[in-house]
Amino acid sequence: MAVVGMIAGMALGFAGYFGGFGAFVLVAALGAIGFVVGRFLEGDLDLGDLFRTRDDRRR
């Protein structure tokens, strides 16, 4: 996982250096979306966990 984090950090660094702040934000947002989709496809994330209210979690 450390290598994956390092590669992601390098990608964000290159995007920020060559593309400016807008490219940095775009790469970070797409990386976050890809992470969530990957966790969902692996079965580690349930979409119901994201959309439950606080009262539903206590039950």
* CA 20/CA 28 separation, integer angstroms: 13
57 or 29: which carries more pLDDT confidence?
A: 29
* CA 6/CA 21 separation, integer angstroms: 19
* CA 54/CA 56 separation, integer angstroms: 5
Report the alpha-carbon angle 9-21-10, nearest 5.
15
22-50 residue pLDDT tens: 888 888 888 888 888 888 788 877 777 66
pTM of this structure: 0.63
* CA 46/CA 48 separation, integer angstroms: 5
So what's the pLDDT on residue 12? 87
* CA 53/CA 15 separation, integer angstroms: 36
